[in-house]
Every structure is written in C-alpha cells, then in structure tokens.
Structure 1
Amino acid sequence: MTGIGTLEEKNWWSKNCKVFLEEAGLFGVIILESVPPEGLTLSLDGLQDFLRSAGIQHGIDLVLCQQIVMSPESYLKERLRIAKGKEPVAGEDARIEIYLDQDGERKPKVLENGRVDYHDVGAVRLATKGQLLASRIPPTAGQEGLAVTGQTIPGRPGRDYRLPQGRKTAVEQDGCALIAEVDGHVVYTPMDNKINIFDEYVVQKDVDFSVGNIEFIGSVRVLGNVQPGFKIKADGDVEIQGYVDAALIEAGGNVTIRGGIQGRNKGVIRAGGNLQTPFIQSAVVDVGGSCRVGESIMHSQVSAGAKIVMEGRKAVIVGGTVRAGEEILTRVLGSPMATPTEVEVGVHPHLRNEMTSIHESLKELHKNLDKTQKAIALLENMAGMGGDLPPDKAALLQKLRITFEHYKVEEEELMFRLSEIELVMQDIKSARVNVFDTVHSGVKVMISSYVYHVRDSFSRVSFVIKDAEVRAIPL
C-alpha cells in the first residue's frame, strides 16, 4: 500500500468525516462515515490537522486518534468523543447562619414511663440590642472551564440568599450580619424567612369569658388553659402552660402547648414557626416549621413545612392525615385495627401555596409594567416631537418613571423568592418516613407523587424514594 499524499488525505477527512460539539463545547465528537479507499494511508498528523481545521483546538485524545488512523473500519459510523475540554466549576451558594436556639429542634426530657416532660423546655428567647442574630457567608464565583474550541466556558456563580430581616432587626452595611435593634423577644419564622423581635403579653389565668379572645402584635404567654371557642392570635410566639380545648391558636412564630391539644373536630392550631405539644387529638394543625409531639397524633389533620417528630417512647400516629415537607419520625404508625392513616412527605404545602401566590402577583405586575412602559413611551415621544412637555405632563412622566422603577424592584424581589422556593421543592431525595417500632396495615405512605399502601405490618422500617417508587427498607 502506498501513500497518496497529505492533500489527498486532507480531502478524504473533510469529505468523509463530520465533527460536532457537545455540552456547550465541552466535548468534540467525530463520526467516520466511510473507510478510506485502498491505497490511502491515514496519519495521526493528518487527523489532528483535520480536527484543528474543524475548530477543535484543545484536549484532543491522541490515543483515540492513533487507534482511528490504524483501524478506521473498527470505528465506522460511531459517535466518538475525540476531544474533551475543562469543565467549569460552579461557585458555592451563600450560607445563612442563624444564632438562635430553635424551639422545634430542642429535645425535652423523656421520663422513665415514656412520657415527655415539657417543663424542661423554655419557650421564651430574649435578645439584647446589638446582639448578632444571623450572618451571611457570601456566594463564591464559579471557575471558568475551557471548550475544545479554546473558548472559555463560564462557571455558574453561587446563588445568593438574603438575611432573614424582620421587625426591629437591622442588616449591617456589609450585608453579612443581622443584629437586634432593641431588647425583646426574638422569633424566627421559617415560613417567611424572618427574624422578628416582639414584646410579650402574659395571661395569668385561663383564657375564658373573663379574658375573651386575644389579638397581640407581639408574643402571648398563657399560664392557664384555653377554653373551648376562644381565639388567640399573635404576630410572635404563643406559649400555653395548660391545654387547648376546641380553640383557635394562630402565631406568626412558634407555638408551645404544654398540656396538649384536644380539638373535638373544632380546634385549629396555625404557626409560622414550630409546634411543641404532648398530644394532638381531633384537631387541624398547620405549621411552617417542625412539629414535635410527645405521645400521640390521633384522627387529626397535621401539616408541617419541615419535620414531624414523635418523641415519646410509645409515640403513635393513627387516623387522619399527617404531612411534612422533609420527614416524619414515629414509634408506631397506624393501629392493629387497620385504622385508615395517611402520611405524606416531600410536599412543602406552605411553599407550594406561596409559589402560586407569587406567580399570580408576577402576572399582575407584568401587566402593570407593560401599561406603565407604554405610557412612558407615549409621553417621551410627545416630548421628542414638540420639545418640552407641559408641566402637568412632565410631572406625570416623572411619576410614571418612579412607578416603573418601583415595579422593577418588586419584580426582582418576587423572582428572587421564587428561585429560593424552587430550590427547596426540587430536593425530595432526603424525604422519608421512619417508623422505629411498628407500621400497621391500613397505612398509606406518600412521598411527593409516589404512593405505597401497607398491606402487612412491618417492624423498624424506613419509607424512601428509590428507583422512582416508594420502598420500605429496614432501619
């Protein structure tokens, strides 16, 4: 076999091979559409020259090139990655560190008989003026990659997050520290990502006809019980030393009910933060953070944005529907009588509702932006045609420009919050239901949109997502 020359080889490569780029230029791909004719010898230099003429300048796989020229028939019609660039590296996301004891994360003392002593857990957190409440570690820039063409591939910068600034708190000038502006009761509400400082209102007895319903912009502490039909609404935390009987409790922050919740199918508890209580029976509970219960959740509708944790040694969830954004942990799930019981994780109901609200707000905002922009354009066109605008029209134009900028800032805030919510809702890998003793038949387990019906009892089992279905795996 004799070589025909580099010009012949060059022509053959250009007519019989195709070169593509993949993944934004990170990979170069070659396809041989035919084998060279008898008498034409392919060379490593010839293939490299062809690749460079096709734009492949960096990361050429010389070993694969040599194999191709030695045995082209072995690679006919194959899609071969002939070159690889340098992958870009994404920057690290910003981190928010919160320097508060979170009531929902405290573990009260478990007594020898299995009951939980909630008198060992304090509910009131005090902050002093100038105290550091949270800090922000800024995101880092991404590292550039290199395409096979020699061009740079930008690295994605880390996502930024805002400090949870709320009432009577201030962000320092560098944007990395949140401090208390006054002395007071500090409350962190995960639902709207804010740290607020409130005053406290104390009720020395039961909430009954002698006290009436309570609405307070700060936090409320009740040293007695809350009797049927009464309401407590507070922007901060609510702490009740006794029980709640068929009443309504709403708190922007955390709720602690030391005597338990007897709903009688009328009681409703809502909290922007966390809930702690010994038991929940026949009630509706909706919290933005975590829900920690000592003994039982029975025949109730319970929803938590983060976790539902049953802490007693005989803790049980039976009847009703229990939902959590992240995980549910309990000793017993269901009952030997196969009582219908539903548990669901990976749903983030509050975030889903907030996302819907944001989309509606953005829709209306974009309408207003469009109207304002058209009005500005009309007035600017009038000014361009006839010189100065009349005073009333000039004032209107200035007002419209200010309104337009206000709308743009509002749009940016909504889009930022939307991206925060989407990031949280995308991750269901860690969603699980852990049962440390027994799960009975009659239980329905849902993780996101996947469903598992318990037909037979299990002991010590964890329900997780695996291979696009709910699996029961041993603990």
Structure 2
Amino acid sequence: MGDLHDLLEVEVSKDHLLAVLKERQPLMGEIKADSLCDFISEHGITYGILEDELHKFAAGKISLPVVAARGKEPVHGRDAYIWSLLDETADRAAQLNEKSEGEVNLKKVIDIPQVNAGAVIGRKIEAEPGTNGLTVYGETITAKKPRDITLRPGKNTRIEGSEIISSINGQLSVAPKVIHVYPVYEVNGDLNMKTGNIDFVGNVVVRGNVPSGFSIKAIGDIRIYGTVEAADIQSEGSVFIHQGVVAQNAGLIKVKGDVRTSFLNQATIEAGGDVHITTSILHSQVDARGFVFCKEGRGNIVGGSVSSGKGIEVNEAGNHMSTPTALYLGSSAKTTAAEKKYRIQLNDSQQECQKLAKLLKRLTEKGKGSPLSPKEKVMLLRVRNSLIQANEKLNEAKDQLLDFQEIFDGETDTKIRIYQSVYPNTDLHFGKYVKKITTAHQHVQFRKERSEIKFEAL
C-alpha cells in the first residue's frame, strides 16, 4: 500500500461541519484503521472523528466516500417573546383542525372572546440561551445570542411583573411587542347605507359582508365574517376575513399587522406583518413585510405578484397554462422607503421627548415652590399628554426599525418554498436577481447564494 496522501483525500464542507474521505487513486491492498485515523488528524481534523466508520471501511464493510468526521451544529438561542390569549386560541384551533381545509382555523381566529378588566391577557416568556457548536477542526461556532424584550403597556393595559393585565372590558389586539385591549364596534350583518362607513378607535367586528365602495378604518383589529369586495380596509392592528376577498382589481386592504383570510381574488394587500391565505392567491398584488403563507388548503398563487420581506411558502406557484406569476423576496423599494420614514420619526420623537421632558421638569419644580396658575396647570396637563404621545411614537419607531433590521439581516436566509409544483412563466425575484422558471419543478426551495439563485429539493 502506497502513501495514503497519494491514494486518498479529505473533503471538508464549506461550513466545516462535515469531513468526507474520498478516493484519489484506486486502492490496492489493506489499510489499517489506525492509519486512517492518523491520516484524518494530519488534515487538522480533531473533533467528531467517526472511528467506527473508518474501521468499517478498513474492514471492507463499506466503500468510499466515507463520512470521516462530523461537527456539532450550534443550537441558537430562542428570543424572548410575548405569549397572549390569542396564542391559546390558535393552539386550540390547530388541535381541532390539523388536517382540515383551514376554514375552522380561520373561524376560531376571528371569533375572539372578550376579556374583563383585571384579566391576565399575556406574559413575557424569557429568552433561552443557545449552545455553541464545534467544527471538525475543533473551532467554536458561536450560537446566536437570543434577543430580550422589554414589556410595555399597550392601550388599556398595564404591566405587573412579567404579566400584562387588561384595564378595561374589551377585545385583544396583539402586535409583535405589545398587546392592546380595545372597545369593540360590532355590526350584526352586512355593511350597507344604513350602517355607513366605519372609523373607530378600537376593534371592529362585521358579522356579514363588506360590499364594494365601503370603508372600514380601525385603530385595533378588524374581523369580518363574510366576504370583502372592492372596499377600503385600513387597520393599525390585523385583519381577519373569513370568506375571502373578491376585489375586481379595486379597493385596498392596508394593515400594520397580519392579514388572514381564505382566498384573494384580484385584491391588493399591504401588510406590515405576515399574510396567511388558506386556499388561493389569484391575480392579486400582495406586499408583506413579513412572511407569506399559502399552503393549508390547495395553497396556490396564480397571476399577479406576491412580495415578502422574510419568505414565501406555497404549495403551487403558477399553473399548467403558464399564467405569468411573480414572487419577490427581500427588501422592496417600499420597505426601504418605510425604513427611512421611521428613522426620521425616531429622530423627531427623541428631540420632542427631550424638549417636553425639560418643560415638564420646569413646570413641576415651579409647582413645588408656589401654586401654578390655571393657565400653567392646563399647560402641565398638555405637556404630560404630549410626552406620552411622543414616547408612543418613539417606541413605535424603535420597534419598526428592529423589524426592518431583521429583514435586512435575514435576506441571505430568505427562501421561497414550493411544497408541490412551480410552473413555467413564474419569475422569482431576490432583490435585483431574477430566476425565470422554464420547466416545472416539484418539492423545491429557492434561495440566493452570493449572486446566484439556487434551488434544492425540500
């Protein structure tokens, strides 16, 4: 047997988590397992050497290539997060409807019970630390440090320790880092000329349909049990629509939170959070800062364009008729513009808070020395209210900028996952890079690696 360096080579994966023994020249004669272990070590590999595999190869029980060493992947820490009563509702819905078409799940999500003043509606779940990994060279792979959060009271809530308590009787509206409780405006049927348009500082529930030409604006969530046509729906929270959207390329659904519905047909959606569609997205324009999910029922996207900041998961993209369909991933021009807007808001709010804090301090100190005049008392109240509002804008800007940073940081990890088929004439956009699908693929995911869009089996 000649020199092992002439006969064998060791190929190490890019992430240094796998070392594979390969043939350089045809092997003749016996190789001792100890010699193989020494050969692996000579390549600087010190961790995770699979001696049993090397012994099997030396004994002729397995052939090349042989996995000679395997590193340990890091287990990344879990970020702190806020648990809410809505999570409990969603968990129950999932248990009831694990294999259904999605309709029961959506019904449960829409049908949110009201809470009473003093009820615990959420709590902080502490972050969990991760575990470092090791490469086959014995080098440490540092686990991602989990992010902490600071509990803040939302509208009509207060913080007690790690719990969030409702201050009023009302309905929850859950944002990523804060929970609100709002009064509820309820329509027991369709919107019509008698009910008129709705503009409400709270949650809105419509137990019927929203016809074309009507509008609903809400500071909280909007829950609609029927169908939405070409209407204008705007929410500072999230929007839940049971029967779907048939918009005929008119109207707009614009929300700061999530959108959940059964299907979209010729609709326009702008969401600051995720978009969850249980059946189909047909000839629609969807722009989500978070994920887009369309995989619970048929789960197909046909025609139009779907844009996501974090990832798209769908059963089918395009169709057998090669209908032009476009999927966009990563930060869009709208995302960049919105990020700039919130940077300006952050700077303006910081300056406003500093100015108001100085004025409040001056008025408070003056009141300690001598009673304030009626005019000064009114000014004191106004300054306090203005400071509360400025702090709310400051916190909103901080939260939004953190979300944007997650999008920008995670662009290299974003993926388009196709659980069934992607058809020709579907274009996949990763920033400025485009992949045009010319032949059908099944069970694949697409991602950007450097300047190339790659696909691999799911």
TM-score (norm 1): 0.61
Aligned to 1:96: 81
Q: Which moved more, 1:193-202 or 1:308-317?
A: 308-317
Structure 2 distance, partners of 1:286, 1:261, is: 14
Aligned to 1:438: 421
Q: Which moved more, 1:442-451 or 1:264-273?
A: 442-451
The within-5 A match list for 1:399-414 is none
Contact 2:185–2:203 (CA under 8 A) maintained in structure 1:
yes
Structure 2 distance, partners of 1:125, 1:449, is: 45
How far the C-alpha of 1:333 sits from its partner, in A, is 0.3
Counterpart residue identity of residue 97, structure 1: I
SS of structure 2 residue aligned to 1:101 = helix
The within-5 A match list for 1:215-234 is 215-234=199-218
Structure 2 distance, partners of 1:315, 1:371, is: 52
Match of 1:121 among 108, 114, 131: 108
Q: 1:255 to 1:159 in 2, by over 3 A?
A: closer
Contact 1:322–1:344 (CA under 8 A) maintained in structure 2:
yes
Q: 1:366 to 1:226 in 2, by over 3 A?
A: closer
Q: 1:287 to 1:362 in 2, by over 3 A?
A: closer
Match of 1:187 among 149, 168, 173: 173
Structure 2 distance, partners of 1:431, 1:222, is: 36
The within-5 A match list for 1:367-378 is none
Contact 1:96–1:163 (CA under 8 A) maintained in structure 2:
no
The within-5 A match list for 1:413-424 is 416-417=398-399, 420-421=402-403, 423-424=405-406
Q: 1:412 to 1:263 in 2, by over 3 A?
A: closer
SS of structure 2 residue aligned to 1:121 = helix
| 1:261 aligned onto 2:245 | yes
Contact 1:93–1:160 (CA under 8 A) maintained in structure 2:
no
Structure 2 distance, partners of 1:462, 1:181, is: 46
Contact 2:417–2:446 (CA under 8 A) maintained in structure 1:
yes
Contact 1:185–1:198 (CA under 8 A) maintained in structure 2:
yes
Q: Which moved more, 1:118-127 or 1:435-444?
A: 118-127
The within-5 A match list for 1:231-380 is 231-347=215-331, 352-361=336-345
How far the C-alpha of 1:118 sits from its partner, in A, is 5.5
Aligned to 1:178: 164
Match of 1:161 among 126, 130, 149: 149
SS of structure 2 residue aligned to 1:209 = coil
Structure 1 distance, partners of 2:416, 2:146, is: 31
Contact 2:152–2:159 (CA under 8 A) maintained in structure 1:
no
For each residue in 1:300-328, what CA deviation from the matched residue of structure 2 results, as whole angstroms up to 9, or x when unmatched? 11122322211344221011111122221
List runs of 5+ in structure 2 lacking aligned partners.
1-76, 130-143, 357-375
How far the C-alpha of 1:167 sits from its partner, in A, is 0.1
Contact 1:278–1:294 (CA under 8 A) maintained in structure 2:
yes
How far the C-alpha of 1:299 sits from its partner, in A, is 1.2
How far the C-alpha of 1:178 sits from its partner, in A, is 2.9
How far the C-alpha of 1:365 sits from its partner, in A, is 7.0
Aligned to 2:123: 134
Percent identity, aligned pairs only, is: 24
Q: 1:286 to 1:215 in 2, by over 3 A?
A: same
Q: 1:133 to 1:474 in 2, by over 3 A?
A: same
SS of structure 1 residue aligned to 2:418 = strand
Counterpart residue identity of residue 310, structure 1: C
Q: 1:234 to 1:120 in 2, by over 3 A?
A: closer
Aligned to 1:51: none
| 1:457 aligned onto 2:454 | no
SS of structure 2 residue aligned to 1:357 = helix
Aligned to 2:411: 428
Structure 2 distance, partners of 1:214, 1:370, is: 37
Contact 1:280–1:297 (CA under 8 A) maintained in structure 2:
yes
Structure 1 distance, partners of 2:104, 2:352, is: 55
Counterpart residue identity of residue 424, structure 1: E
Counterpart residue identity of residue 162, structure 1: T
Tell me the C-alpha RMSD between the 2 structures: 3.9
For each residue in 1:105-142, what CA deviation from the matched residue of structure 2 results, as whole angstroms up to 9, or x when unmatched? 86584877x674466524214334141513164899xx
SS of structure 2 residue aligned to 1:163 = coil
Considering only CA atoms, is the larger Rg found in Structure 1 or Structure 2?
A: 1
The within-5 A match list for 1:39-58 is none
Contact 2:198–2:215 (CA under 8 A) maintained in structure 1:
yes
Aligned to 2:37: none
Aligned to 2:8: none
Paired positions, count:
336
Q: Which moved more, 1:459-468 or 1:320-329?
A: 459-468
Structure 1 distance, partners of 2:102, 2:223, is: 20
Aligned to 2:361: none
Structure 2 distance, partners of 1:180, 1:442, is: 51
Structure 1 distance, partners of 2:184, 2:400, is: 33
Aligned to 1:57: none
Contact 1:185–1:200 (CA under 8 A) maintained in structure 2:
yes
Structure 2 distance, partners of 1:204, 1:413, is: 36
